[in-house]
Amino acid sequence: MRNQNRRTALKNILAGSAAIGASGVLTSFKPIDQNAKLELKGNINHAVCRWCYADLSVEQLCKEAKRIGIKGIDLVGPKDWPTLKEFGLYSSMCNGAEINLIDGWNTKANHATLIKNYSEMIPLVAKAGYKNLICFSGNRRGMDDETGLQNCVEGLKQVISIAEKNNVILCMELLNSKINHVDYMCDRSAWGVELCKRLGSENFKLLYDIYHMQIDEGDVIRTIQNNHQYFAHYHTGGVPGRHEIDESQELYYPAIMKAIVATGFKGFVAQEFIPSKTDKIASLEKAIRICDV
């Protein structure tokens, strides 16, 4: 009798689910009318990463961003800041002081170059009226976590006072070491948070890349809830593949954005997916709609 009741219950559940699915209620992402006027709620400060649209000029990207309602452009340096200002857009994550992604603060041999670069760039960022400047841990090359932390602290302490004086935040990006950046050291939020704690400065925080951290550790929303005070900036991307953040991938970005908003975050969320569809700007606009909670 128990087995029969269980079978009956399962049949009823499946029938109900099929009916709901047919009605579209279970669809993860609401259909988007690309012709409708984009009216943003203002809870998220939207940005977009420059490198994902390399086939467009900076001017073209700025024009489209302005039309969509995007406020910032990520990963541009001083030479492009005048163009952003012309369009009334903000340089939401500045770059240009780093050596590259693999040679970073975890290696003492890089410190002299990095200290010089960041000592010069931080005042430029401040003078231009911007806030965030990216940095990287670098690759392990056989180095253990503790040595990497100690080396990063030793090097970064020599520029943190400059960042504090200029009200600039150095943002170390969390990158996955499984697929895209094999051997990268700052590949777990716990490691990055520990570095923040050891430096003990509000002018050093993390760039929490949702795409990268979904690959290496998952548990995205809980991580944001527990560590948001150490996150100065967010990046998006569809998993797997780093393409559109729509129903073609595994993350449900509306819920993630609501979790970010709930922390009181007032910084920027930048789209950093690589468009796979022909109309790349339509993909960007759709991503903004998805994230605008």
- Within a domain: 35: no
What pLDDT digit, counting tens, does each position of 278-290 carry? Answer: 999 999 999 999 9
Which residues sit opposite 47 in a β-bridge?
72, 270
Which of 216, 217, 191 lies closest to 136 in space, CA to CA? 191
- Within a domain: 90: yes
CA-CA-CA-CA torsion sign (206, 207, 210, 211): negative
CA-CA-CA-CA torsion sign (181, 184, 187, 193): negative
Please report which helix (H) or strand (E) contains residue 207, including its range.
strand 204-209
152, two tokens: 């990063």
- Within a domain: 216: yes
Q: Are 213 and 272 in contact (CB under 8 A)?
A: no
- Within a domain: 22: no
Calpha distance 275→282 (Å, rounded)? 9
User: In a structure prediction context, what are the per-residue pLDDT tens digits for the chain, which is 293 residues long?
Assistant: 555 555 555 555 555 544 444 444 444 455 545 555 568 999 999 999 999 999 999 999 999 999 999 999 999 999 999 999 999 999 999 999 999 999 999 999 999 999 999 999 999 999 999 999 999 999 999 999 999 999 999 999 999 999 999 999 999 999 999 999 999 999 999 999 999 999 999 999 999 999 999 999 999 999 999 999 999 999 999 999 999 999 999 999 999 999 999 999 999 999 999 999 999 999 999 999 999 99
CA triple 274-85-77, angle to 5 deg: 55
What pLDDT digit, counting tens, does each position of 116-169 carry? Answer: 999 999 999 999 999 999 999 999 999 999 999 999 999 999 999 999 999 999
Which residues constitute the domain of residue 57? 43-279+287-291
Calpha distance 252→239 (Å, rounded)? 10
φ, ψ dihedrals at 102, nearest 5°: -100, -20
Question: Which CATH number goes with the domain that contains 60?
Answer: 3.20.20.150
- Within a domain: 30: no
Please name the residues in contact with 239: beta carbons below 8 A apart, sequence gap of 6 or more.
211, 214, 215, 249, 250, 251
Give me the pLDDT at residue 39, please: 86
Give me the pLDDT at residue 27, please: 41
Give residue 33's identity as a one-letter amino acid code.
D
- Within a domain: 107: yes
- Within a domain: 36: no
Calpha distance 21→26 (Å, rounded)? 5
Q: Three-class SS of residue 96?
A: coil
Q: How many residues belong to the chain?
A: 293
Strands 72-76 vs 132-135: parallel, antiparallel or unpaired: unpaired
Give me the pLDDT at residue 165, please: 98
DSSP character at residue 184: B
- Within a domain: 158: yes
Strands 268-271 vs 90-94: parallel, antiparallel or unpaired: unpaired
Please name the residues in contact with 229: beta carbons below 8 A apart, sequence gap of 6 or more.
none
Calpha distance 81→88 (Å, rounded)? 10
Q: Are 203 and 230 in contact (CB under 8 A)?
A: no
Calpha distance 175→192 (Å, rounded)? 11
Number of domains in the chain: 1
Q: Are 84 and 73 in contact (CB under 8 A)?
A: yes
Calpha distance 70→83 (Å, rounded)? 15
Give me the pLDDT at residue 23, please: 44
Strands 132-135 vs 169-173: parallel, antiparallel or unpaired: parallel
